[in-house]
Amino acid sequence: MKKKHPEHVNLERWLVSYADFITLLFAFFVVMYSIANQDKAKIKQITEAIERTFLGPAAKIDAGSGSDVNVFTQKSSMVGQVVDQPMGHNNALPEHNPELEKIAERIEESLSYQMQTTDLKDIYKIIYDDRGLVIRFSANKLFDPGSEVVRSQYLPLIDKISGVIADGNRLIRIEGHTDNQSLPEGAKYPTNWELSTARAAWIVRYMRAKWKIPSSRLSAAGYADGQPIASNANEEGRERNRRVEIVVTSVQSTKQE
């Protein structure tokens, strides 16, 4: 009688099931990855369609560096108030800022104590807007016509304000503005652009030289007649438009000198 051989047991059958499982798992993730990429593409298409519908070509602006900035994804300020842009303003509403209010109080106290005999109501005023704390000066008082140099009798006013805002690390921007009248022929500066910028730069240099405010906190901008606060149709309005503004922004400098 023929002897039976014992049946051989395959101990590696589990590998077949494991391989099938791995194959299915791989296929699952491939499908999920494909779906995710399709969703991103669809979302991008929808976003671009909305931009074209509502803003047209203005949906993207040139930031001045040769690259486009998407207005839907532009980063907002950490404080929700100030974006230090070339045009100075943004569309945000001024917010309650105790630190800026404290600076304004210190300026008022310093001026009322040191310059009690001077009527300052026609020379400067303090306001708040989307830029931060704004100390607005009448250029008619501060400067001779066509000149960028602050009159000597008003330097103590600049000094008192500079002494207060020198503390801390908030960015400070000096902005020069004019009316829409052309400068006379033979004037030191050919246009209001140069004049408004020169006045702002003169105050920046003065603050830097005398009060040692770090350059990283200071900037100057000249807007000529580009940002009027009154009508240029009459002399009263033009006088209001001729101004220099010290803007203590809500943005804090992160640079150290």
- What are 150's strand-pairing partners? 143
Q: Annotate 185-202 with b (16+ C-beta within 10 A) or e (fewer).
A: eeeebeebbbbbbbbbbb
Both 209 and 108 in one domain: the answer is yes
Both 38 and 125 in one domain: the answer is no
Beta strand pairing call for 170-177 and 218-222: parallel
Cα–Cα dist 226/193, whole Å: 9
- pLDDT for residue 64: 40
Q: Which of 55, 70, 85 is the last residue of a domain?
A: 70
CA 13 to each of CA 21, 22, 23, 95, 111: distance values in angstroms, whole numbers, following the listed order: 13, 15, 16, 71, 92
Both 112 and 57 in one domain: the answer is no
Cα–Cα dist 215/208, whole Å: 7
- pLDDT for residue 155: 94
Both 220 and 138 in one domain: the answer is yes
Both 112 and 162 in one domain: the answer is yes
Range of the domain at 64: 14-70
- pLDDT for residue 154: 93
Stretches in the chain below the pLDDT threshold 50: 58-93
Query: Looking at the domain assignment, is residue 225 inside a domain?
Result: yes
CATH number at residue 169: 3.30.1330.60
The angle at the Cα of 205, spanning 103 to 63, to the nearest 5 degrees, equals 80
Cα–Cα dist 82/252, whole Å: 10
Type of residue found at 205: R
Both 36 and 104 in one domain: the answer is no
Both 33 and 144 in one domain: the answer is no
Residues 52, 54, 55, 59, CA torsion sign? negative
Domain count for the chain? 2
- pLDDT for residue 169: 92
